[in-house]
Amino acid sequence: MYPDQDFEQLSAQRPTTSGRSPEQVLHEVFGYESFRPLQGEIIRELAAGRDALVLMPTGGGKSLCYQVPALVRSGTAIVISPLIALMQDQVAALRELGVRAAFLNSTMDFEQARATEYALSTGELDLLYCAPERLIQPRTLELLHDASISLFAIDEAHCVSQWGHDFRSDYLQLAVLANEFPTVPRVALTATADERTRKEIAERLSLTEARHFISGFDRPNIQYRIAPKTNANKQLLDFIKAEHEEDCGIVYCLSRNKVDATAKMLAQKGYTALPYHAGLPANDRAQNQERFLREDGVIIVATIAFGMGIDKPDVRFVAHLDLPKSLEAYYQETGRAGRDGKPSTAWMVYGLQDVIKLRQMLEASQGNDHFKRVERQKLDAMLGLCEVTKCRRQVLLNYFGDELEAPCGNCDTCLNPPETWDGTVAVQKALSCVFRTGQRFGVTYLIDVLRGSENERVMQSGHHQVSTYGIGTELSVNEWKSVFRQLVANGYLRADPEGYGALQLTEQCRPLLKGEHKVELRKDPVVKASAGRGSGGRTGSAVKDQVTDHAGWDALRACRKELADKQGVPPYVIFHDTTLFDMLERKPQTLDELAGVSGVGAAKLEKYGEIFLSAIARLDPA
């Protein structure tokens, strides 16, 4: 785990940077030469004492948007974060930069919490991370009133949305900050919010007068790929082996049992695969997360309980073995890949049973009619992305109100455009078969009837005598599964809300049965050998694939790992891979030259400069 917060060490670090410009803080503390798009505007807005609402994709640099103004303004910035992992990760990284940062959360004992509170009250902190449930306690609010507060940053602000995929009731009470601290600027930040959610965030957090900063949602380094589910385990293994054999990745499953089974399967195949879900003991979850953050090549298999706030930059793939409930969830989860800007893959398989299961869960939920209507719209949008025949990135970005003028060239539908076929007759046969068999059977049985199976169940039911028996022999079982999947995805068939997987006709299918509409269906692609990670990448290959001096690369990574182990932090907290690669390319010989490497700020130069210069000097000059 992360080391305890040492306030003697904190007090010995540099004084507050109040009085410096944002550009000075960016260069001297964080080691970067310039802001990314919108960062500078957001930072100046907050530094001037004004509120803001920020939408920026994962990996777009949201953290700097409040960390820099926190170091420009006098006082302590309070960062509200929903997850312990995020607090610990960011605090560890900030302290490596010489920033006086700490957190308050449930992992601390009484003495640790009291020491942190004292550091706040005496002005010894630049940033304090706090969970929302902790912040809204009367004792915490009283502490904040007695301290000098520079700003409030509400991270993962989409958690306030009751229609969102990560709703947390404690976030609803954060509007108290506007009343209790009317003169302190506030910023709400998120990576996932459509127009409806943005409006809800602004209203619930009393930020209706705040300036909105909406960065582009595009993550061009991520290649989006969605395939029909045939044999999910084999498909996952083939994908990892072909493209991400030694890479770090996340595999998402809908149920805890499937998480455990998938992690076990991958481990048996020789991968370092660890489960993560709410049913595991807390210590096991924490240990697995730590290994994921610190070790190379670890695959975490998880439910959606994992990942929010995880700052690991080199996750090379995110795989979904089950369909997410919404595009918000999909975007948030896939966004955990490639935070370093290097080529990464968002890979998913989905099938008819995924659609049926999610629709049944939705209809069986306790939500009111309005809630169910909104959730249906979200699921329909997710299914639309799966079945689309044009550029997936254009569809995904359009959902969030962003536009991509031309097809991206880096998704499966751009790289291998899907074929369509006139499915009008097949659709009529399928819908008629559902009707003729009484709307009481699932897809496997319906296909048996269409293909004229003589199995015992069909013969005993008498359905070998219905008019649709044996009229579908021209299509294979998998082709019929594709037809039914697309009919359910597009709302022409629905799963029986009482369960059992029976398919029923909807009112929407009437024109199809009457032959009034022509139906174009997507032809499921034939699986070909993968072209590997390099195909279609638009931002260069992953860092390790650019390395030509492998011995030098290994030496610098070993140096970083040794320092990380001594500090008790993940290696990327010392330096990102991109920084090590820059060192290897430039081979600086002096501290001044090392200071010119991107990601080497003043504190890290002082701490690690001589160590890395020595390591570089020992490299083979060839």
Indicate the pLDDT class of residue 510, thresholds 50, 70 and 90.
confident
Indicate the pLDDT class of residue 189, thresholds 50, 70 and 90.
very high
Q: Provide, rounded to the nearest whole percent, the portion of the chain with pLDDT above 70.
A: 91
pLDDT (0 to 100) of residue 527: 52
Q: What is the pLDDT of residues 245-256, one digit of tens each?
A: 989 999 999 889
Indicate the pLDDT class of residue 530, thresholds 50, 70 and 90.
very low
My answer on whether 346 and 473 are in the same domain is no
My answer on whether 210 and 237 are in the same domain is no
Residue 530, domain member (yes or no) = no
Question: Of 415, 437, 463, which residue constitutes the final position of a domain?
Answer: 415
My answer on whether 236 and 347 are in the same domain is yes
pTM of the entire predicted model: 0.74
pLDDT (0 to 100) of residue 70: 95
Rounded to whole angstroms, the Cα distance separating 166 from 160 reads 8
Mean pLDDT of all residues in 430-456: 92
Question: Of 415, 449, 471, which residue constitutes the final position of a domain?
Answer: 415
My answer on whether 386 and 239 are in the same domain is yes
**C-alpha distances in Å from residue 1, one per residue of 109, 295, 421, 472:** 15, 13, 55, 59
- Given a cut of 70, is residue 385 above it in pLDDT? yes
Give the contacts of 489 (CB within 8 A, at least 6 positions apart): 355, 383, 384, 386, 387
Nearest to 90 by CA among 23, 5, 197: 5
pLDDT (0 to 100) of residue 282: 85
Rounded to whole angstroms, the Cα distance separating 87 from 531 reads 39
My answer on whether 377 and 438 are in the same domain is no
Give the tokens for residue 270: 């020789």
Nearest to 445 by CA among 419, 423, 427, 472: 472
Residue 440, domain member (yes or no) = yes
My answer on whether 289 and 352 are in the same domain is yes
Q: What is the CATH number of the domain that holds 424?
A: 1.10.10.10
My answer on whether 375 and 503 are in the same domain is no
Residue 405, domain member (yes or no) = yes
My answer on whether 276 and 360 are in the same domain is yes
Residue 540, domain member (yes or no) = no
Rounded to whole angstroms, the Cα distance separating 49 from 61 reads 20
pLDDT (0 to 100) of residue 499: 55
Rounded to whole angstroms, the Cα distance separating 135 from 78 reads 9
pLDDT (0 to 100) of residue 39: 92
pLDDT (0 to 100) of residue 50: 94
**C-alpha distances in Å from residue 436, one per residue of 441, 594, 617:** 11, 76, 79
Nearest to 150 by CA among 335, 16, 245: 16
Residue 386, domain member (yes or no) = yes
* Start-to-end CA span in the chain (Å): 39
Q: What is the pLDDT of residues 205-245, one digit of tens each?
A: 999 999 999 888 889 999 999 999 989 999 999 999 999 99
For the residues of 409-473, what is the DSSP string, one character each? S-BHHHHSPPPEEE-HHHHHHHHHHHHHTTS---HHHHHHHHTT---HHHHHHTGGGSTTTTTTT
Say how many C-beta atoms besides its own lie within 10 A of residue 510's C-beta.
13
Mean pLDDT of all residues in 579-595: 87
Question: Of 381, 415, 449, which residue constitutes the final position of a domain?
Answer: 415
pLDDT (0 to 100) of residue 498: 63
Q: What is the pLDDT of residues 461-509, one digit of tens each?
A: 899 899 999 999 999 998 998 899 888 878 888 877 665 678 889 888 8
Rounded to whole angstroms, the Cα distance separating 602 from 251 reads 37
User: Is the sign of the CA dihedral 498, 499, 501, 506 positive or negative?
Assistant: positive
Give the contacts of 146 (CB within 8 A, at least 6 positions apart): 121
Mean pLDDT of all residues in 552-562: 88
How many domains is the chain built from? 4
Mean pLDDT of all residues in 256-277: 94
Say how many C-beta atoms besides its own lie within 10 A of residue 51's C-beta.
22
Residue 359 belongs to domain spanning:
222-415
My answer on whether 27 and 143 are in the same domain is yes
